[in-house]
Amino acid sequence: MIRVNDHNQLPLFDPWEFLSPRRRKMLDQSWAGLFQKEILRSLPIGLVKPYFSRVTGRPTKELYTMLGVQLLQQAHDLTDKEAVYQLAFNIQWHYALNITEESDSAKYLSLKTLWTFRQIMSENGLETSIFN
């Protein structure tokens, strides 16, 4: 089953209101704000959807998050383990990927899931299209 959040739908309440105005402004003006506003919505999730079932199986990790993690890992030159930790604990990553919930399903990623997703991308020649 495929999980995709609609990042174009505005939330009823600001999920980032817990941040002070200064910290929020810093995030907005950083790479994380740029990523959230300009890059996240344009990630080509349609390229990876065909490799997952719409009706059977365990739900996927949210596809925008998975593609975003792949990009951020490469942009920051991180190991797989470091990327998993950044997704779990780094508020800049949460902001960039527009992850507004505190659940493990949103912020936890196993190394195996990361490897499997990367394998799907590389075996099907998707990395060039996604990184462009």
Note whether residue 9 is domain-resident. Answer: no
Domain range for 98: 21-49+60-131
Q: How far is CA 63 from CA 21, 24, 43, in A?
A: 30, 25, 9
Indicate if the pLDDT at residue 34 is higher than 90.
yes
**CB-count exposure of residue 22 (10 Å: 0-12, 13-18, 19+):** exposed
Note whether residue 5 is domain-resident. Answer: no
User: Mean pLDDT throughout 11-18?
Assistant: 81
40-96 pLDDT tens trace: 988 988 888 888 878 787 777 889 999 999 999 999 999 999 999 999 999 999 999
Q: Please give the radius of gyration of the chain, using alpha carbons only, rounded to the nearest integer.
A: 15
Note whether residue 4 is domain-resident. Answer: no
